[in-house]
Amino acid sequence: MAWVWFHRFGSPPHFYRLATRLTPWFAWPAALLCLAGLIGGLVLAPPDYQQHDGFRIIYVHAPAAWLSLMVYVVMATSAAVGLVWRMTVAYAVSASCAVIGASFTALALATGMLYGRPMWGTYWEWDPRLTSELLLLFLYLGYLGLRNSIDDVGRADRASAVLAIVGVVNVPIIHYSVIWWNSLHQAPTVMKFGRPSMPASMLVPLLLMLAGFTAYFVALLLIRARGELLRRERNARWIAEALGAAATGKV
Amino acid sequence: MLKFLAMGGYARYVWPCYALTAAVFGLNIRWALRSLTRAKAEARRRIASVRTAS
């Protein structure tokens, strides 16, 4: 049974239709979750006893950092699935991740600098967490650069897949950097075993933002993956059907 | 309202973070839609050229 599902999911026309249908189901919840998280985080949550109102940066910084890692794992996993099963849909998903991941990594770094200045007294420090996150940005940029340098989509998919898979070693390094080494960066508040070290009034908005950012990413991914599928499935008959207007000769 | 905007003296760090986030959200939507629109236009062109050739 599992294989039937796997093959259906891997069929480009099926995935294309599914992605089209699912996009609003992620886009609208994303908007609502982020709105609720913003109200909770900026208005309802009390100021932190140490960081005062400056801690409110966490509501965009932590979800951006979460996406930077999560998107990378999705990119590397789907690249591996593409390599092993030669699955077009998996390659399309992998290629869709890079720009989104790179932009959220840059956002995590930028908001982190603006967070670090008032809390640590410096925008930047060559600290394990900051340095490994910067390396993640370079991995995304390397992936994009490699793809752009190869004209053939199939070859670009395979070459960049290897880079994505090798780079995944950086993900646990980033996550555990604040535990393994002495870091300026604070230890995880939510992504850890045991109870989150935050009161509910601060935690709930953070969880809403994390869920909102994730849903937003899925919506973006579904839109981008459709484009990537169209680029890979040359001359397939289903494309004419999916594009409707072209099929009736109205081009 | 002014008190809210002042963010307890952290306004110059908090608000740029939220502005950057809004920019990244907006740009990603624009880039994703543009990428799909381009791919569709390209696919349509390809289908049309196949039709005229046959």
Confidence label for A249 from pLDDT (cuts 50, 70 and 90): very low
**A9 in a domain, yes or no?**
no
**A243 in a domain, yes or no?**
no
The single-letter DSSP state of residue A1 is -
The pLDDT, as a whole number, for residue A5 is: 67
Task: Pick from B17, B30, B38, B44 the residue to mutate for testing the A interface (most A CBs within 10 Å).
Answer: B17
Q: Which of A25-29, A152-156, A190-194, A208-212 is the least confident region? A: A190-194
- Compute the distance between CA of residue A107 and CA of residue A209 in angstroms, rounded to an integer: 15
**A241 in a domain, yes or no?**
no
**A17 in a domain, yes or no?**
no
Residue A129 has which token pair? 């967490």
**A57 in a domain, yes or no?**
yes
Contact yes or no for A239/B50 (Cβ under 8 A): no
- Cβ pair A245:B27 closer than 8 A: no
- Cβ pair B8:A235 closer than 8 A: no
- Cβ pair B43:A114 closer than 8 A: no
**A246 in a domain, yes or no?**
no
Would you say residue A251 has pLDDT above 60? no
ipTM score of complex? 0.92
Residue A84 has which token pair? 């092993």
Q: Mind giving me the DSSP string for A143-181?
A: HHHHHHH--SHHHHHHHHHHHHHHHTTHHHHHHHHHHHS
**A3 in a domain, yes or no?**
no
Quick check: B10 contacting A, CB < 8 Å?
yes
Number of domains making up chain A: 1
Task: Pick from B45, B47, B49, B54 the residue to mutate for testing the A interface (most A CBs within 10 Å).
Answer: B47
Contact yes or no for A245/B44 (Cβ under 8 A): yes
Distances, alpha carbon A176 to alpha carbons A40, A111, A182, A226, in Å: 29, 20, 11, 35
Q: What are the tens digits of pLDDT across the range A147-171?
A: 999 999 999 999 999 999 999 999 9
Domain that holds residue A115: 23-44+52-236
- Compute the distance between CA of residue A115 and CA of residue A123 in angstroms, rounded to an integer: 8
**A62 in a domain, yes or no?**
yes
Distances, alpha carbon A192 to alpha carbons A54, A68, A115, A206, in Å: 23, 18, 21, 15
- Compute the distance between CA of residue A11 and CA of residue A192 in angstroms, rounded to an integer: 37
